[in-house]
């Protein structure tokens, strides 16, 4: 069980570091939200699962698993709401970002 927890902790730490790097490196709020809403919750969730593996108490393990499920379920909704609020307030994407509208005539 220790090796599984170590692997989960390592994977979660790497994903969280990648999310932080994406937040620092991406040019605008929309791409930063993409990095933060994909890799961040998954990394934090894997760290929670590592804690659940090492917890000696079932109550702690259940709370960690429920925390993981909560992160995975609420992250897309919150990212969508933040992006929509940024769009409604007039925050424009970076000029390097290409926006391709869906054309229903094709």
pLDDT in tens, 31-79: 898 888 988 899 999 999 999 999 888 999 999 999 999 999 999 899 9
Instruction: Note the pLDDT tens digit of each residue in 6-39.
Output: 999 999 999 999 999 999 999 888 889 888 898 8
| Residue of 88, 94, 90, 89 lying closest to 34 (CA atoms) | 94
CA neighbor of 72 nearest in space, from 100, 102, 41: 41
Q: Which residue is listed with tokens 């599984």?
A: 4
What's the predicted TM-score (pTM) here?
0.80
Give the pLDDT of residue 95.
Answer: 82
The span from the CA of 92 to the CA of 4, in Å, is 43
CB half-sphere exposure, 81, CA atoms < 13 A: 5
Q: What is the pLDDT of residue 101?
A: 65
């Amino acid at each position: 069980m220790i090796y599984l927890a170590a692997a989960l902790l390592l994977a979660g730490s790497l994903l969280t570091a990648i999310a932080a790097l994406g937040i620092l490196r991406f040019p605008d709020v929309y791409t930063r939200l993409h990095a933060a809403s994909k890799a961040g919750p998954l990394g934090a969730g894997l760290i929670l699962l590592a804690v659940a593996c090492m917890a000696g108490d079932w109550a702690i393990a259940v709370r960690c698993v429920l925390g993981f499920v909560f992160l995975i379920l609420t992250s897309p909704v919150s990212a969508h709401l933040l992006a929509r609020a940024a769009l409604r307030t007039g925050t424009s994407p970076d000029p390097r970002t290409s926006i391709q509208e869906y054309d229903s005539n094709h």
